[in-house]
């Protein structure tokens, strides 16, 4: 479980992104983390990984203080940020360099996810477009087989076909032991994947709702988001 308790964080003393903010992510399933621009979604993901440190409050992953960036804790977390770059090396070389950090890394799952994305398995990362890099990195993230996978705007930069393939790749890479948190504005790209929706607004959780299966029409997440913000 990921537990965020009374967290305050700001990039400057005069501008707090999160203030006295609390939230929990239970184990298992796919969370959609939604909110307007500047409400702290990306910041929250970086706090969970310990890449940022709360000025007040605590962030714990399975009872471990995220600020310590404990090696065992980090072996159970993989984050795909919205913007990143990859070194100009072969995919095989890159995977061999990181596999030691992720004890359950699966080459078989990596190949499966790459096939779902219609990507070759012998690419040089330096020769890829940004969209292709995103597809490969998402495959690596799923293959790492961590308990917690954090994706920040994962469909940005993907074309229409790739967005559809993204859903297939995530389904292929998920298991009951994994918890996936997707921070996004592109709700329609991910809504069919979600088990749970969290809508935040700086120091408040506006909605924390499990999506129950139903024979009726699926919940319109975009409408749920707009309705929730309208009721502030």
Helix (H) or strand (E) holding 227: helix 221-230
Q: Is 61 helix (H, G, I), strand (E, B) or coil?
A: strand
Q: Is the pLDDT of residue 3 over 60?
A: yes
The domain ranges of the chain are: 2-230
Given this structure, which CATH class describes domain 2-230?
alpha beta
CA 78/CA 101 separation, integer angstroms: 10
In our burial notation (b when 16+ CB lie closer than 10 A, e otherwise), range 1-37 reads ebbbeebebeeeeeebbbbebebebeebbbbbbbbee
β-pair type (204-210, 196-201): antiparallel
Question: pLDDT band for position 212 (50/70/90)?
Answer: confident
pLDDT for the residue 122: 87
pLDDT for the residue 196: 94
pLDDT for the residue 214: 56
Instruction: Between 208 and 219, name the one with better pLDDT.
Output: 208
Contact indicator for 199, 228 with CB cutoff of 8 Å: yes
pLDDT tens column, 4-27:
999 999 988 778 899 999 999 999
Q: Is the pLDDT of residue 215 over 70?
A: no
Q: Is the pLDDT of residue 221 over 90?
A: no
pLDDT for the residue 136: 95
pLDDT for the residue 216: 60
CA 202 vs CA 12, 38, 40, 74: distances in Å: 15, 8, 6, 26
With pLDDT > 70 as the criterion, what percentage of the chain qualifies? Answer: 97
pLDDT tens column, 144-192:
999 999 999 999 988 899 999 999 899 888 888 899 999 998 888 998 8
pLDDT tens column, 83-135:
888 999 999 999 999 999 999 999 999 999 999 999 998 899 999 998 999 99
pLDDT for the residue 146: 97
Question: pLDDT band for position 217 (50/70/90)?
Answer: low
The predicted model gives 63-74 an average pLDDT of 94
């Amino acid at each position: 479980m990921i537990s965020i308790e009374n967290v305050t964080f700001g990039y400057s003393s005069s501008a707090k992104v999160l203030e006295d903010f609390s939230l929990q992510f239970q184990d298992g399933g796919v969370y959609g983390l939604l909110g307007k621009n500047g409400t702290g979604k990306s910041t929250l993901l970086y706090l969970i990984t310990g890449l940022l440190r709360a000025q007040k409050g605590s962030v714990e992953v399975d009872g471990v203080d995220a600020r310590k960036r404990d090696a065992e804790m980090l072996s159970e977390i993989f984050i795909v940020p919205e913007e990143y770059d990859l070194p100009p090396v072969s995919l095989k070389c890159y995977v061999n360099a990181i596999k030691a950090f992720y004890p359950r890394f699966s080459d078989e799952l990596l190949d499966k996810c790459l096939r779902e994305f219609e990507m070759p398995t012998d690419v040089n990362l330096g020769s890829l477009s940004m969209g292709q890099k995103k597809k490969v990195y998402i495959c690596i993230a799923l293959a790492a087989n961590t308990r917690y996978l954090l994706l920040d705007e994962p469909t940005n930069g993907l074309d229409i076909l790739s967005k559809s393939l993204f859903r297939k790749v995530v389904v292929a890479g998920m298991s009951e032991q994994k918890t996936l948190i997707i921070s996004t504005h592109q709700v329609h790209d991910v809504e069919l994947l979600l088990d749970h929706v969290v809508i935040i607004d700086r120091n408040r959780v506006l909605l924390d709702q499990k999506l129950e299966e139903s024979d009726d029409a699926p919940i319109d997440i975009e409408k749920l988001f707009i309705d929730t913000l309208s009721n502030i």
